[in-house]
Structure 1
Amino acid sequence: MSAVPMHPEATDDPQAVRWVVPAGTLPVVGEIAEAPDELGEMLRSEGVAAIEVETRAVMIRLADGRSWSRAGARVRDALAAALRQPREWRPAAAVGEDDVLRAALRDVLDGSIGDYIRSHGGEVTVVSAHDRRVEVRMAGTCTHCPAAGFTLHSRLEAALRDRFPGLVELRATEEPAKAATRTTWLTLRRRGSCPPDPGRP
């Protein structure tokens, strides 16, 4: 297998670096219990404190007392070699394709696409995500918005497909509109203005 393109991103934690990789590089998400070759040895020897796989990145946290200035090149090379063996990565908990799909969807909705939707007063919640199909519910200003279809397909679906290339379908339902309250106006007559009762003298 050829080399997998990757590049590092700093995080708020000085011990952790997020290594960005193409979506779908690894068939697992979440905390990793075992990685191939030298990267796995680092994890077992506690030089690397934790490895967590995201849909488009591998987060590696060094053990306390270790520094990226000293260990960075070795970790980079070990990660590059390990990425060429995607079937040898073992998650700490059982992970299926649906878990990878849900992680990709969460990544999209928690990121810039979700921020864009929320900034316009919209809301997207997950109804279901399984068998490579996703259903979401659009609410807030997304309900009956003429641009909702564009947002759904050109933004949300494109970002999700980038993270989960096997996506078959993204479907949206709208939150039912609240029942309109009908106001009935009653005309009240003033006292003494009622018409005379024909049965009274």
Structure 2
Amino acid sequence: MSTVPNIVPMHPEATADPRAVRWVIPAGTLPVLGEIAEAPDELGRMLHSDDVTSIESIEVEAQAVVVRLADGRSWSGAGARVRDALGAALQHPQRWRPADVVTEDDRLRAALQDVLDGPAGDYIRSHGGEVTIVSAHDRRAEVRMAGTCTHCPAAGFTLHSRLESELRARFPELVELRATQEPGRAARRTWLTLRRRSA
């Protein structure tokens, strides 16, 4: 009986660099982050070759693999081969080797930054809020909420329903996410005066 390999879903996104494509993958697919020194099979050979499909660099993010082609190479010529090689390489996550040692704390910080740079952070910024990372270690993260998040009655809801749920999707080992508020003045009440309409 033959077995069909478990295909990892992925799709390409353009970047500002025409030689680089961001291949979006599910969070947690790869146990590594940052620049890649070794990749499995054909993808690894492309990283270390000088042929028409050679790759200059591969960088793993929390939910993507960014592949940058070497000078003089084009996605129209190499795209299908890179896609197929990446799909096959994702079947062997244990064989990816980062250029630098990445700790669990590094993975947590990267996952949290990815959340803050994405839709959850956009939502907070659209309401005049600001969230920054204070710390990320021992599977615990702390953020500082500022701007309109300071003293906002919905800040706790935003922290848990938006930030924490997205962070857990990227870093399932999370033990705790907590927030501190930027010290500042308490919100002042503003009274509006209503004028009487003249008859």
- Fold shared by both chains (TM-score > 0.5): yes
1:12 partnered with 2:26: no
Aligned to 1:22: 26
Give the match's secondary structure for 2:132: strand
Tell me whether 1:109 sits opposite 2:116 in the alignment. Answer: yes
Residue 159 (1) aligns with residue 160 (2): no
Q: TM-score, normalised by structure 1?
A: 0.84
Instruction: State how far apart, in whole Å, the 2-side matches of 1:12 and 1:124 are.
Output: 25
Q: Is the 8 A contact 1:23 1:165 kept in 2?
A: no
Tell which deviates more after alignment, 152-161 or 18-27: 152-161
- What code does the residue aligned with 1:36 have? P
1:73 — aligned with what? 80
Tell me the CA shift for residue 30 of structure 1. 0.8
Point out where structure 2 has 5 or more consecutive residues left out of the alignment: 188-199
Mark the runs of 5 or more structure 1 residues left unpaired by the alignment. 181-201
Instruction: Tell me the C-alpha RMSD between the 2 structures.
Output: 1.7
Residue aligned with 2:13, SS: strand
Count residues in correspondence. 180
Match of 1:145 in 2: 152
Aligned position for 1:54: 61
Q: How far did residue 179 of structure 1 move?
A: 8.4
CA distance in 2, matches of 1:165, 1:7: 23
Does the Cα contact within 8 Å between 1:6 and 1:22 map onto a contact in 2?
yes
The alpha-carbon distance between structure 1 residues 60 and 128, as it changes in their structure 2 partners (threshold 3 A), is: same
Map Cα deviations across residues 32-66 of structure 1 (whole Å, 9 max, x no partner).
Answer: 11111110110011410110000000000111111
2:197 corresponds to which residue? none
1:115 Cα deviation after fit = 2.5
Q: Determine the C-alpha separation between the residues in 2 that align with 1:177 and 1:68.
A: 51
Contact 2:151–2:186, Cα closer than 8 Å, also in 1: no
Matches of 2:40 and 2:13, distance apart in 1: 22
With structure 2 as the length reference, what TM-score do the two structures score? 0.85
What is the CA–CA distance in structure 2 between the aligned matches of 1:126 and 1:145, rounded to whole Å? 19
